[in-house]
Chains A and B, each alone.
Chain A
């Protein structure tokens, strides 16, 4: 055996330079990945024209979308505010702007649009018969989807006249005398048309019974573009209100103050400071005093594992015969040993000896040790118990 020489060890063989190098080597991979992620994230966050596929949305490029109109309007210097909630729409309206209510499929409550009557802005109601009847008193409007035909304006509204013709399927009926109804069909009455304008309390309300002229697919048809652009481009600011199916309440957000309004402003900064404290505590607690020491663990194989496996095998294959034979052989060999018989004693002799020792009848003993195998769980358990009994009797004899 060699004796260990005790030479003092000073340092771990590293210098500040080698440590810096190894640290850089260790961290450069993660740093590269992290910076790559940052760059990708920044690129993703750049303001990029985003598109959707929501019908009548100003950012939708689908055939049912309205991005073409929106882009032309923006090119003409009209600022578009796209909103999906009533509260946001109310907040977005500025005096002297245009408000477009596009579609009413997602309107469930009158409060979702009746505020429009009070705003200081021109209204354009497209495919919104409920809003039209409430706000402008137009009796009914429908869009039957029948084959559309080009119709002449047939009125003196400047927008309609400028458009010259309209290709749309929707119809509305306006019974009030001060409503200007345009684009009447060939066999329709005077108060029936596709487009109507009415001024209520100084608020100009333009109604289009059908949203088709706005869509990307049909904007270029005949006079659709002219009518729509004149209708929406009256003012520099357009609020594009497309009701959302998720707008549950009429005054959500606008009603009670949110959590952010209730807590004092210092809380946010305090949370930031607490984050710093948590970070420092994490570094304090997280730094280990040296690495974890590992060692190989011994194998754990319980000795009885194989035996239990064998028992399960018996059970699964329902080998009552095998199990009973094992129990009987075990009891017989112990009994023979107790009675001083050699292990090779023939069965009749063993039965005689056991019967003599226990006082039982020979056929009973024979049936117990050499009878037919049991056929079910309870018979096997009974056999085991009986063998135990006779064994204890032999032991005490």
Chain B
């Protein structure tokens, strides 16, 4: 049962009556009148439990893009249903105007659309549908909340896809498909063709030229069908906030851009999200089905407040990869954590694979190290300086073991990682 503003007006209408007959009995009588009217009105309202409700939502939506949650409410009672319907979603789903006025004659139905603009990645589970059926007098209402399950998967935003065209262009340059003066290097023999002016004379194939009357050059192309394994660290360091977004968000962006680029380059991409156990895995998917599968798997990857088990990561990588591959570790370059976790086992990875470590840098650290305002700020600056030095030292140690270290601000990490990938590919180090 619920009341409306009319019930308040009805109660207020008793004030003149009280002024005319100023005894407490008037108040009591009026209260009784209000009560009887409200109960009667609620009793005459259509039952909110006799409404057939269907909720339709798209299976997934990209973060920041609108999605529609459609409620189909059909009045199956014999009374006219007037009132309010609320399509309840969690706050991070960004439901716009989830309350709908309805007026349904018996047997009639209506579609109520609520626009959702999600603000957080992951699965959003719809809450109950609440129906408030107002009585014929509009004084009181009956209310019921009905469980109508629905799930909306909010995929990562993939804002870094704006960097994809430029990287694809670079890839085509490598491939030799674009008409450019400077050919990209490659390691795989592609074909022989006639020499044109501008070709590197070093690539002339003298033996082939001898067989023919023309000067023939060899062309190369980058390797194809290499394996790329992206390991997303979902341990506690990924929960850390950099510029108001957790580190894992930037890592996911980088993973998506790299995967999109590598698939186009003809490599096979796999994903592993791991902390102490496998949180998500995408393997054996290729072509156009890869990106949706990746987005789906990464949508529910959330930081866990536990320490990452790097030995476990190594055994997972061993299990997955039998031949040389590119292993991309999306983690944090936290000196203490890397020294304890990754450094002791990284040799097992670098001995067989090309390893890239991509980490989100914190711009605040740089700001901290530049401030000189007070003694306290200088101490903070010294601490930031020390952290930066330790970070550089650990990066050096990783590089000495053959790990490519990419450290960039959240927005730059995805393009920087893509560039590193292209550079490795161009150098034939995959």
Contacts and interface: CB of A to CB of B under 8 A. Distances in A.
B288 interface: no
B210 interface: no
A362 to B, nearest CB: 24
A311 B239 contact: no
A310 B18 contact: no
B172 to A, nearest CB: 34
Interface stretch (B178-186, B219-227, B263-271, B363-371): B363-371
A377 B378 CA distance: 9
B27 interface: yes
Contact of A298 (B22, B86, B239): B239
Interface string B356-392: 0000001011001100101110111111111111001
A23 to B, nearest CB: 11
Given A311-B376, A384-B378, A298 B246 contact: yes
Interface string B133-175: 0000000000111111011000000000000000000000000
A12 B149 CA distance: 12
Interface stretch (A196-204, A319-327, A348-356): A319-327
A274 B376 CA distance: 59
Interface string A284-296: 1001011101110
Contacts, number: 227
Interface in B64-90: 72, 74, 76, 84, 86, 88-90
A311 B375 CA distance: 10
A280 B51 contact: no
Contacts of A303: 240-242, 247, 362, 364-365
Size category of the binding interface on chain B: 35 or more
Contacts of A281: 8, 11
B19 interface: yes
Contacts of A277: 8, 11-12, 14-15
A308 B364 CA distance: 10
A240 B7 CA distance: 55
B362 A304 contact: yes
The prevalent SS among residues of A at the interface is helix
Interface stretch (B124-132, B272-280, B317-325): B124-132
Contacts of A6: 54-56
B379 A287 contact: no
Q: What 10 A-B pairs are tightest by C-beta distance, nearest first?
A: A290-B130, A311-B380, A323-B382, A377-B375, A11-B49, A330-B385, A311-B383, A8-B52, A326-B386, A310-B383
Interface of B: 1-5, 7-8, 10-12, 14-15, 18-19, 22-24, 26-27, 30-31, 34, 49-56, 59, 72, 74, 76, 84, 86, 88-92, 99, 120, 127-130, 132, 143-148, 150-151, 239-242, 246-247, 296, 302-303, 305, 362, 364-365, 368-369, 372, 374-376, 378-389, 392, 396
Given A284-B8, A304-B365, A330-B388, 18 more contacts: A7-B54, A8-B52, A10-B53, A12-B146, A273-B27, A276-B14, A287-B1, A287-B143, A289-B2, A302-B241, A304-B384, A311-B368, A311-B382, A330-B389, A343-B392, A343-B396, A384-B381, A384-B382
14 contacts: A269-B23, A269-B26, A283-B7, A284-B3, A289-B143, A291-B145, A293-B89, A298-B303, A311-B382, A314-B383, A327-B381, A330-B385, A378-B375, A384-B381
